[in-house]
Amino acid sequence: MNSLENLKEAGAHMAAAVKIDYDELREATREFADREVAPIAAQLDLEDARIPIDLYEKMGKIGYFGIMAPEEYGGLGLGARALGVVTEELCRASLSVGSLIQRNVVTGSIIAHHGTEDQKSRYAPGLASGELQSASAGTEPNAGSDAANIQTTARRDGDHYIVKGTKQWCTNADVADVLFLYVRTSDTSKHSGLSLLLVDKPRDGFLPPKLDGTHLATAGYRGMKSFQLYFDNLDVPADNLVGGEEGHAFAQLMAGYEIARTGFAFRCVGLAQAAYEAAVRHAEERVQFDKPLKEFQAVRFRLADMRTQIEAARALATQAAEKLDSGARADLEAGMAKLFAADMAHKVCWDALYIHGGNGYAIDAPVNRYWRDSGLLPIGEGTSDIQREIIARSIVGRSTR
């Protein structure tokens, strides 16, 4: 692959050959990230600016949004490991930009596996190309880790559902074309009463007063804005019920969670790699007591631990991705990868800031951005303690309370 612009053609060839040169894919993605993403990363953070639409378009043209999508929908069909390599390299330049593709990948995967034929034809190609952007609307003020506690309702009324409730932490909801909405369609059971709806909306806006949103300011992870969403008797066509049958949300989301958590682990690795590289540069350049920081054992040992932890997290994430690519379930492996990588990146980013000393505490220092961004990692896509519970269930079964 001589340049990133021919990734789509090369990706189709590699998929057909069932052999991917991951080093080549990494090099090409890093080239793109260094050229197109890194130069705007500080601006996105310091100005809390939106990721430019032309960057979406460039990423879509390359094929990033459809990297796991089946070729029949215009995707590359390259698998979870390829997604991980691309995600890591983009997140090394900017966590928010590197996280863009995750939404379309997960939404597109669930539609491809569980959607009706009509839903597949309407949404899958656009999600794969990036022409459609999606956002997940699952979390609520009283339903985060306890996902089955969803209170937002969708009641059938003829050929429509009437949606009422509040969602929270819906990232990129303002510029999404479709919301992946988690709703309660029945009160008969906490779990089986849940369904998924696809909510069409205009790009760069909402549908007030039936659908509106309030921006939630965050300490980091800027470039994609998060929102609290308000659904006030919003009409959604019944044809937009994922799979065409109510009550299957948990089963539909199962594989989506595994892809999301594996991808999240690679996002953590990318951010940690950026922080580590910044720490190494600073240790080489900063002189104290007539010698560079890299000559001090305390700094050397800290760098050694950082590098070791990053490599271990990358290996766990790769293991989960390879299991997904084999067609097997990977809830245990995805949980372990997400747990270790999130906690690792949180610590590595702090260690990188610590090595920078007071210079790292300046808000416009890149390492300060990495540190602030890392605060999300043990919380987002299932907290670290939730991952521990998932892992424990695979070891000793479900707890009884």
pLDDT tens-digit map of 321-353: 999 999 999 999 999 999 999 999 999 999 999
Q: What does the buried/exposed string (b/e) look like for 195-231 if buried means 16 or more CB atoms within 10 Å of the residue's CB? A: bbbbbebeeeebbeebbbbeeeebebbbbbbbbbbbb
CA distance 18 to 169: 38
pLDDT tens by residue, 250-278 = 888 877 889 999 999 999 999 999 999 99
Tens-digit pLDDT profile for the chain (401 aa)?
A: 444 445 555 444 444 444 789 999 999 999 999 999 999 999 999 999 999 999 999 999 999 999 999 999 999 999 999 999 999 999 999 999 999 999 999 999 999 999 999 999 999 999 999 999 999 999 999 887 777 789 999 999 999 999 999 999 999 999 999 999 999 999 887 778 999 999 999 998 999 999 999 999 999 999 999 999 999 999 999 999 999 999 999 888 877 889 999 999 999 999 999 999 999 999 999 999 999 999 999 999 999 999 999 999 999 999 999 999 999 999 999 999 999 999 999 999 999 999 999 999 999 999 999 999 999 999 998 899 999 999 999 999 876 55
Q: What domains can you pick out in the chain, each with its CATH number?
A: 4-132 (1.10.540.10), 135-247 (2.40.110.10), 250-396 (1.20.140.10)
Percentage of residues of the chain with pLDDT beyond 70: 95
The two structure tokens encoding residue 358: 């007071």
* Largest Cα–Cα separation, the chain: 78
Residue 182, token pair as written in the block: 């988690």
What span, in angstroms and rounded, lies between the C-alpha atoms of 145 and 248?
19
- Tell me the per-residue pLDDT of 169-181, one tens digit each, with 9 for 90 and over: 999 999 999 999 9
Q: How far apart are CA 296 and CA 293, in angstroms?
A: 6
CA distance 374 to 368: 10
Q: Which residues are catalytic?
A: 381
pTM score of the predicted model = 0.93
CA 5 to chain centre: 23
Q: Which amino acid is at 15?
A: A
CA distances from 164 to 64, 142, 153, 233, 299 (A): 34, 15, 5, 5, 54
Backbone angles phi, psi at 82, to 5 degrees: -65, -40
